[in-house]
Amino acid sequence: MKSELAELDQKRTMVDDDEAPDAVPVPHALVPHLGETAILLDIDGTLLDLMPTPREVWVPPGLSETLNRLTERTSGALAMVSGRSLNDIDLIFAPDVFRAVAGHGAEMRLSVDNEADDVHAPPLDKELKRRLAAIAKLSPGILLEDKGYSLALHYRLAPHAEKAIYEAVSLIRADLPNAPIEVLPGKFVCEIKHSGFTKATGVRELMKHEPFKGRRPIFIGDDVTDETVFAIMPDMNGLSFSVGRRAMGVNGHFDAPNDVRAFLARLLDDTRLE
């Protein structure tokens, strides 16, 4: 399975120059009016720089003000779209609270006044989680994150363990061929979740509700797990942009999270978007 995932990721990231998206244009050419736009943002590797462990990420100075002002200018139509749980998102941005699609679509918050809105995401089977959790013992650098509805194995501190992790997951899946699970390869993370929900299913649901309903979504993401959202943006007359890699099917790309943050700040400075 790992070789298939690696091959798929390679095909997605190795794009011919003629097919690759251009860099992101200036804001006024991209967003005709913030009052008609929904801004959807991945967090790790998109808004925030990647760190050795998920707990080490931090919000750079000025970003909270930018996000709050964009929330105000879009009448609340700004949301995080992340693999992190709602609780994690709130801890990172505290004391600010944002609307969100969390846990790869397993959780959702449509109003900042609510803790969460029920999306009926089933939890992983306890025995399955126990077997998957045991994989963390392969190396001291593997960090285990249990989200209830998914389990993530982070190996940024043990990159040498990547092959062994995916092989172990493959063996478990072979033992349980009918288990309704999905493996999500990411940047130094292997996440196993219940099938049936993705970031894309979460975004589709989000866009049915105010203040997002009827707006043109703009989604920015960096990882393989964001590609489900890239794929549905044309259905919504939306735009998508990748970060750090020139992904297929997007309208442009940013080189790094600091470029994303600068772009968002420029949206506020451009009076033509009023």
Which residues are catalytically annotated?
42
Q: How far is CA 237 from the centre of its chain?
A: 20
257-269 helix and 63-73 helix, angle to the nearest 10 degrees: 50
Task: Check if the beta carbon of residue 239 is closer than 8 Å to that of residue 216.
Answer: yes
> What distance in Å separates the CA atoms of residue 251 and residue 230, rounded to the nearest whole number?
9
Residues 6+ apart with CB under 8 A from 83: 44, 102, 103, 104, 150, 152, 184, 186, 191, 199, 225
Residue 51's identity, in one-letter code, is M
Please choose, from the candidates 182, 167, 166, the residue with its C-alpha nearest in 3D space to the C-alpha of residue 228.
182
Backbone φ and ψ for 119, nearest 5 degrees, come out as -115, 10
Between CA 64 and CA 60 the distance in angstroms is: 8
- CA distance linking residue 104 with residue 80, whole number of Å: 11
Length of the chain: 274
Residue 180: CA count within 13 A, CB half-sphere: 10
Write the CB contacts of 46 (distance below 8 Å, at least 6 apart in sequence): 220, 221, 222, 226, 243, 257, 260
